[in-house]
Structure 1
Amino acid sequence: MASFKIEGGNFLKGEIKPQGAKNEALQVLCAVLLTSEKIRIKNIPEIGDVQCLIQILKNLGVIIKKNNIGDYTFQAKEIYIEYLNTKKFFIEYGQSIRGSLMIAGPLLARFGKVCMPIPGGDRIGRRRLDIHLRGFESLGSQIVYKENQYFYIYSKYLTGKYLLLEEASVTGTANIIMAATLAKGKTTIYNAACEPYIQQLCRLLNRMGSKIKGIGSNLIHIIGVTELSGCTHTILPDMVEIGSWIGLAAITSSEIKIRNVSWKNLGIIPNTFKKMGIKLEKKNDDIYIPSQKYYRIKKLLNNAILTISDAPWPGLTPDLLSILTVVATQAKGSVLIHQKMFESRLFFVDKLIEMGAQIILCDPHRATIIGLNHQSYLRGSILNSPDIRAGIALLIAALSAKGTSIIKNIEQIDRGYENIDQRLRILGAKISRIV
């Protein structure tokens, strides 16, 4: 297993272009299964989770042509659906990434059956499957579930229905939308997730011939059609990676320009970093972060401590809380980080405490960070990446720390970040990949 060796405490400078959005890529790649015609997708990130899903599609029989870096054409003309029943799929691929779950909706809609293992992914806490399964059931499917192993879903045909989701699940919403595109009649989804990546999926499906209204809201209406056609789609830049670069620039007092960020799809992310005292400027569609020796956390109007918490879109994505936690360790002031959605995501702060951070882990969901204001720096350490987002947060911490750090289990970081060490070296970081 590979590791990163990092010599921290260096000033970084330069321009960076964000990769394509991981979460959007996993959704739109599954959507190619809805038609036998060609779908061309551009700006696909070359990361571990996406490559795993592309391999699943290939093993299902999807014809895949790589036109250029991040540019692929897919054609799901003849699908070998029995592949889903093989041990190879269950062990090697299906349980590796949670995104594999989203092939269920398209395959159920087009072929009337699908067998899926319980999906894998990050160990960040309980992540519900019932939004997906109850959604399919409401559309007329029958489900055979073997606890902690697999579920088999089948239906003679799907029929549109009104669905009120108990939770605005992003992957659950995506799965149900894809299944409903080929269902008979009208499907209405209330309390649907409305993240930009869900909006992108809906726009792709409409270009394929779907009839989806309410895009961008939590009330989605879908009129089922009999078949879908091909088209071309370009994936948005990854908002979480953009937030990672902002956090890196701030904590290392570096000067970085992030190019082509799609500002209109960033929501409250820029303002959240501004609350941390971080200066950033909008230059056309770029973000410019000037070098700052210090940044002060803003207090609330009643002088109360700032609380930053995650929420469904247009609230703050939970994927950025790990980065914000690290950034807060060198701020002036204190902040309460409240991770509402996943009960295991803040446990990585133990490693930050070992590096010299002043953090009180109040409970599995809340941590109070007392900023060091660059008066006392983090120390280099031997670290282990527990998941994608904690992994990049620890990497950012190591780049700001004094001394040498080793980060193990970097396969977790590679799952979500494209050539991260090469791109950091371009900015001046001293990082190497070692075996």
Structure 2
Amino acid sequence: MAGDCPPYNDFAGWVHDPHNQRVYMFGGLRPGDESETPASDFYCYNTTTMKWENLTNALTFREPYKSPYSKTELKREKRHLPALSHPGCTLWRYEGHSFIFLFGGYDAASDGASSKVVIINLKLREWWYEDRLGRTNPRIAPSIVAIGNKVYIFGGYKELEGDPQACYSYSIAEHRPEDPISPWAWEVRDTPYSGHLPSDFVVGQAVAVYGGKKILLAPGRLNHTDERRLHFSKKTLFYFRIDLKAFHEILDPAGDPLPQDIGWYSIFELKQLPLTASAISTQADITKKRGRPPKNPTPPSQVPSPQLRASVSSSSSDSVVICAWQPRPGTKSEDKLFEPEIYHFSLTPDDRLDCLKIIQKVCDLNHNFEGFMVVGERMHLLGSYSDENSSQTDSDSDSDDESDATWNIHLDIPFNCRRE
């Protein structure tokens, strides 16, 4: 991967803009920072050129609701985004343009959970607080997804440690451009879960499916100190039907078993075939040394991007891909050594799950991959390469300086799709 590669941040926000072939990484905790202070890093990855760009110092702050003749608007200044970890973020489209909608997270300035909304205009590289939306409960690590003119927010929690004060509720923000006073309003604010969704269900990720008619909700953890493994099943996967604002269970899929014993995962919708990504998210392993990649004796510049070929047969455009980090083959869950496995979940006409069985092949490469994204018809695992002494053991490397670790390698996985 070329360009100015971003630091290997944990608990950052990731957003994929397939309309402009870009991926954005925001905030998080920098590797090697023992104070665990959130950063305001903002990086852009061009999925066509495979090049990173540092936009941290490139954004202009504005106050869109003030007079255009105000001091702030007449003399706009470059300003960093707020320093956040565990933010909720999603791509929002308006009149053919791409924006990032940020909500919540752990705010370094207030040393607590945030309830603020930040919007980033990606074309103009401007950002602002959406103050006139009004406040709702602050949430660290909420799961959010934009569909049309609405943004759906699920779950999250209020405390990083101790009692998480989990939010077992959801909110819906609606964009109303015809309203000159308040173009954003809460259609639903902090409404408790109901129906088939357990009142204490912890949402980990949310993704739009069925053309935006439903949202698939996957399980999560109470907070970043919760070390339990995650398990997918009928009792931990749910749909939210947006027209009825109702929750219901998924059907038991045919095919391979749902992933179990998960350290962390990424999930996103496949809108059509050939495959086109609609979102990206990555979550760091809460049980590992933060940001510490394993040592690899071969620098990425000397290794052509390794390829794994995965074949998916599907007659439906309604499907999702799950990349789940599960115990490395030959190890136990308590060893806390994870490798990625990929699952294709077809939703129509019949629910079916197919495991692509790449985990051993990835393990054999002896690289550290902790992120996942899709570019056109190819999947990419993202990771970090360290050129330090590769002969050190894991215990030796615990004391290594991690501060220079970056997201700088990828594994290319072509996704052969064919219609039945």
TM range (shorter): under 0.3
Normalization by structure 1: what TM-score? Answer: 0.27
Structure with the larger strand share? 2
Normalization by structure 2: what TM-score? Answer: 0.27
Larger Cα-atom Rg: 1
